[in-house]
Amino acid sequence: MSRKMEIKYPESLPDLLHQSVDNFEKEAKMAMAVKLFEMQRISSGMAAEIVGISRVEFLKELEKYEVSMINIDPEELTSDVENA
């Protein structure tokens, strides 16, 4: 089961950003999914499901938002390498 969320925004906002309403809403949904993924609140699979694309497509899109596919801090990476 999925739920639906409604977000109100100024009617002129898509025009101000030189986007169609559909493109603006898709980008807003993607931005939310990317941010939740970046904050490690949801998985890449869940983020992809929110946006309605495959997990691989979602991971490829992360570059546009300057977000890494891998959420790991430097200390954890060093520890993993040392213990490999």
Mean pLDDT of the chain: 91
Nearest to 62 by CA among 73, 50, 47: 47
Please report the pLDDT score of residue 2 as a whole number.
84
Q: Cα separation of 48 and 57, whole Å?
A: 8
Query: Is residue 1 in a domain?
Result: no
Please report the pLDDT score of residue 77 as a whole number.
66
Q: Cα separation of 44 and 40, whole Å?
A: 9
Query: Is residue 11 in a domain?
Result: no
Chunked in runs of 10, what are the mean pLDDT values of the chain (84 residues)?
A: 91 96 97 96 95 96 92 70 78
Please report the pLDDT score of residue 37 as a whole number.
95
Residue with tokens 């992360």: 62
How would you label 68-80 residue by residue, b for 16+ Cβ within 10 Å and e otherwise?
A: eeeeeeeeeeeee
Query: Is residue 59 in a domain?
Result: yes
Query: Is residue 57 in a domain?
Result: yes
Nearest to 37 by CA among 61, 20, 17: 61
Please report the pLDDT score of residue 79 as a whole number.
73
Please report the pLDDT score of residue 48 as a whole number.
97
Can you give the residue range of the structural domain that contains 23?
Answer: 18-82
